[in-house]
């Protein structure tokens, strides 16, 4: 059914007003009013319903939006929960791994502590073993840290040897009376046959005799004292072995020598230095060769000086033996010009109130003065020094240079002395111009006494040559054993 229009409603209302004049009609009018009110309320309700509907729609939209957000959040929450579970699983796995790692670390630490304890025990044992081994060897010293002391020790030996020899042989002697004995001394040095000995007391002749004796003393000191060890009385082969070993493996040589030195010290702890076999051997060897050349009145004084020299050489050389590097003497003939810093020309000025005027001596020493207005003594001396290197090309070793055998390329620790060829030639000229001589009866008696002395030396215990001396002979001067005052 269609709803009435507004016009129909108005007609009905008009009709109702007409009818309302009567009571039933008035009641109907009341109903109509009520109906108007109700329609108004219904309209208001409809408007409110529309508002409510809109509100409900808006709320529904909000609810839908909330539900979507809720679903999204729920999804996110689910993802978070899932991630949390995954993280919890990872955390649990990590904790399990950490526990395993911790257990491993604890095991490693335990093993490390055990290993450390074992290392400490081994270290203690090794230290004890090292200390025990160190007691079986001598502590060696570094060469570079002790160069000054080494140089001082070697210079002291050389200075005392020169002082002794020059003091006793740089004087006037009866050279004709003992020419055979001088010849025997020449046989004790290398190139000794090349050393001229003029039968005079000229400064040059004195220098030749001093050089010969000094070289003989040097040879005996090198043979008996300037050695790496004194372990045995006859250690030449062992010492040669050590020298050759130092050239191939210097560390091994140092270690071996330190042990041998310790062994040698143990066997000679309570022996006075003068009575050491090496010192006795050097002393007796020099005395055997040189002492007969000294006047009887001065022989005791010379032998006491020789004792002091041998003792001093031994004491100073002990500091050389305990060096890490193998240090030894060099007396081998060579081309001296190749190592001019190692060798110096040996000159000796005999004590005299006046300076020597022998022209041959001056030329040999390189001190001859060139006369003339343009050159004075200083210029001539400078010229001689400039010619020194050529003079050192050939010569005879008088005193050894001391070299580092372990490192042969290094400079010498102490320089040696040689007679240059120019000086030898000057002495040869003087020797050739001297009148010929024949052996005297004293010369023959010296030779016989020397033979007797050698036989006594060979028969003496421990090789002490002086124990076989005969009291009152030319060789002994009636002073008994050769170690007086030792």
Q: Tell me the whole-structure pTM to 2 decimals.
A: 0.62
Does 366 score more than 80 pLDDT?
A: no
Mean pLDDT of 10-34: 70
β-strand pairing of 343-345 with 327-330: unpaired
- Read off the pLDDT of residues 251-277 as tens digits, 9 standing for 90 and up: 898 888 888 888 877 666 566 667 788
Pick the residue with more confidence: 464 or 302? 302
Distance CA 119, CA 112 (A): 10
> Considering Cα of 353, then 358, then 359, then 360, what sign does the dihedral take?
negative
| Enclosing H/E stretch for 390 | helix 388-391
Q: Which residue has the higher pLDDT, 271 or 346?
A: 346
What is the pLDDT averaged over residues 364-371? 36
Q: What is the largest CA-CA distance in the chain?
A: 211
pLDDT tens digits, one per residue of 298-340: 999 999 999 999 999 999 999 999 899 999 998 886 767 677 7
Q: List, for residues 73-129, the tens digit of each pLDDT value.
A: 888 888 888 888 888 888 888 888 888 888 889 998 898 899 999 998 888 888 888
Quote the DSSP letter at residue 192.
G
* Mean pLDDT score, 338-358: 68
Q: What's the confidence (pLDDT) of residue 233?
A: 63
Of 216 and 36, more confident: 216
What pLDDT sits at residue 25?
59
pLDDT above 90 as % of the chain: 15
pLDDT surpasses 70 at 376 = no
Domain spans in the chain, listed from the N-terminal domain onward:
11-110, 144-468
- Which has more pLDDT, 408 or 481? 408
- The more confident residue out of 421 and 9 is 421
Query: Does the structure show a pLDDT above 80 at 19?
Result: no
What average pLDDT score do residues 193-202 get? 83
Distance, CA of 175 to CA of 191 (rounded, Å): 21
CA distances from 429 to 42, 194, 353, 432 (A): 169, 13, 26, 5
**Assign residue 442 a region: left if phi > 0, alpha if psi is -120 to 50, beta otherwise?**
alpha
Among residues 263, 164, 283, the alpha carbon closest in space to that of 223 is found at: 283
Cβ pair 221, 285 in contact under 8 A = no
């Amino acid at each position: 059914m269609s709803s009435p229009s507004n016009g129909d409603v108005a007609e009905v209302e008009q009709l109702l007003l007409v009818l309302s004049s009567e009571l039933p009609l008035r009641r109907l009018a009341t109903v109509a009013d009520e109906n108007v009110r109700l329609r108004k309320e219904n309209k208001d309700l409809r408007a409110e319903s529309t508002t409510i509907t809109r509100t409900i729609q808006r709320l529904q939209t909000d609810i839908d939006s909330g539900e979507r957000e809720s679903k999204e959040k729920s999804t996110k929450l689910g993802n978070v929960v899932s991630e949390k579970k995954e993280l919890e699983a990872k955390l649990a796995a990590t904790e399990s791994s950490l526990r395993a790692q911790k257990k491993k670390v604890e095991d490693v630490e335990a093993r490390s502590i055990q290993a450390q304890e074992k290392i400490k025990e081994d270290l203690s044992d090794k230290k004890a073993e090292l200390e025990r081994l160190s007691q079986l060897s001598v502590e060696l010293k570094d060469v570079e840290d002790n160069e000054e002391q080494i140089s001082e020790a070697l210079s002291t030996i050389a200075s005392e040897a020169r002082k002794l020899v020059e003091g006793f042989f740089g004087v006037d002697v009866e050279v004709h009376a003992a020419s055979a004995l001088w010849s025997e001394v020449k046989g004790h040095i290398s190139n000794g046959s090349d050393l001229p000995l003029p039968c005079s007391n000229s400064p040059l002749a004195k220098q030749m005799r001093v050089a010969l004796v000094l070289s003989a003393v040097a040879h005996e000191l090198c043979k008996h004292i300037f050695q790496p060890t004194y372990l045995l009385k006859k250690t030449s082969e062992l010492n040669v072995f050590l020298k050759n070993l130092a050239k191939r493996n210097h560390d091994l040589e140092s270690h071996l020598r330190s042990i041998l030195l310790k062994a040698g010290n143990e066997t000679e702890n309570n022996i006075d230095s003068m009575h050491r076999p090496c010192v006795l051997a050097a002393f007796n060897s020099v005395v055997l060769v040189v002492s007969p050349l000294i006047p009887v009145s001065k022989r005791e004084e010379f032998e006491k000086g020789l004792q002091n020299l041998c003792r001093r050489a031994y004491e100073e050389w002990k500091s050389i033996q305990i060096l890490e590097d193998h240090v030894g003497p060099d007396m081998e003939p060579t081309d001296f010009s190749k190592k001019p810093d190692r060798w110096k020309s040996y000159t000796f000025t005999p004590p005299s109130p006046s300076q020597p005027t022998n022209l041959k001596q001056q030329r040999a020493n390189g001190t001859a003065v060139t006369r003339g207005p343009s050159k004075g003594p200083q210029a001539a001396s400078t010229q001689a020094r400039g010619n020194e290197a050529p003079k050192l090309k050939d010569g005879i070793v008088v005193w050894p240079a001391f070299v580092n055998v372990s490192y042969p390329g290094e400079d010498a620790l102490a320089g040696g002395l040689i007679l240059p060829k120019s000086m030898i030639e000057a002495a040869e000229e003087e020797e050739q111009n001297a009148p010929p001589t024949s052996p005297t009866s004293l010369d023959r008696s010296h030779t016989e006494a020397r033979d007797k002395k050698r036989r006594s030396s060979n028969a003496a215990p421990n090789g002490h040559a002086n124990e076989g001396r005969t009291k009152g002979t030319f060789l002994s001067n009636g002073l008994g054993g050769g170690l007086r005052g030792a």
